């Protein structure tokens, strides 16, 4: 069974926490250590960002991390090489998050094969059109037992949400805001209503809420309305401030989420 499905199958009442970081930032060789430290500290899923020069969905924090990673020399091939070195030690799901251009350049089938060889369980490709997903990417991903995680926002129609739910597996990434990534202090009434509306749809796939989670209030709102929360910008900031020391960054993150 795919590790993503396995985690959700065994969850019980557990609420999950997924963290994002950009491979190659703040240092080129820190990828493996960051992943193993997060696993040791109880993180449930890890999203590993593939740096790209034009990350349209990302705010300034993750854009800056991607720029730094590229300057450091990070590439898709190097990332796979780093993941292969720790594959046997990683028990939790790894999800690659990246834009379509580098994946197409690498080759979709070659990318999926490298994912399997590196212990990757799934992908999030924010700019992948759903038609291309169905016709081109999904058949190859299914062949390698990889999950393609699709995103929805408050502006996604109910019809499209149900279509995504019927045609994907793993989980649905619920974007808390239709804007770019970045920490928020709270979720307003409109976002809370969006969470409740999606809850009432009784979707087949579990949902994880991301974008803007950075403190106790936003974490609890996400966990109350989905299977768990995804944190990106806040952790990337803390990891940079800690010069890549993941334990220090996690200590500071857990402190922030308790306040």
Which of the residues are catalytic?
47, 58
Q: Are 223 and 15 in contact (CB under 8 A)?
A: yes
Task: Give the C-alpha separation, 248 to 256, whole Å.
Answer: 13
Q: Are 174 and 198 in contact (CB under 8 A)?
A: yes
- Contacts of residue 110, defined as CB under 8 A and 6 or more positions apart, other chains included, come to none
The two structure tokens encoding residue 114: 């490298």
108 phi/psi in degrees, rounded to 5: -60, -50
The two structure tokens encoding residue 198: 């999606």
Task: Give the C-alpha separation, 163 to 210, whole Å.
Answer: 21
């Amino acid at each position: 069974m795919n590790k993503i499905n396995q985690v959700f199958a065994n969850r019980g009442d557990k609420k999950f926490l997924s963290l994002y970081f950009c491979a190659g930032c703040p240092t080129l060789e820190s990828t493996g250590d960051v992943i193993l430290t997060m696993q040791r500290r109880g993180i449930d899923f890890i999203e590993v960002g593939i740096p790209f020069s034009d990350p349209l969905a990302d705010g300034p924090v993750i854009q800056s991390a991607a720029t730094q990673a590229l300057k450091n020399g990070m590439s898709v091939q190097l990332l796979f090489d780093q993941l292969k070195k720790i594959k046997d030690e990683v028990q939790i799901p790894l999800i690659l998050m990246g834009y379509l251009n580098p994946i197409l350049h690498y080759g979709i089938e070659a990318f999926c094969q490298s994912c399997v060889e590196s212990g990757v369980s799934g992908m999030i490709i924010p700019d992948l059109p759903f038609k291309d997903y169905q016709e081109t990417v999904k058949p190859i991903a299914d062949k390698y037992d990889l999950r393609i995680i699709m995103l929805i926002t408050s502006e996604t129609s109910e019809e499209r949400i149900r279509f995504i739910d019927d045609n994907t597996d793993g989980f649905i990434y619920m974007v808390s805001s239709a804007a770019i990534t970045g920490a928020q202090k709270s979720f307003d009434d409109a976002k809370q209503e969006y969470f409740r509306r999606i809850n009432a749809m009784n979707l087949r796939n579990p949902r994880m809420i991301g974008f803007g989670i950075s403190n106790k209030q936003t974490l609890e709102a996400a966990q109350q309305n989905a299977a768990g929360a995804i944190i990106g910008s806040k952790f990337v900031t803390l990891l940079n401030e800690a010069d890549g020391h993941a334990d220090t960054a996690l200590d500071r993150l857990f402190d922030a989420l308790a306040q």
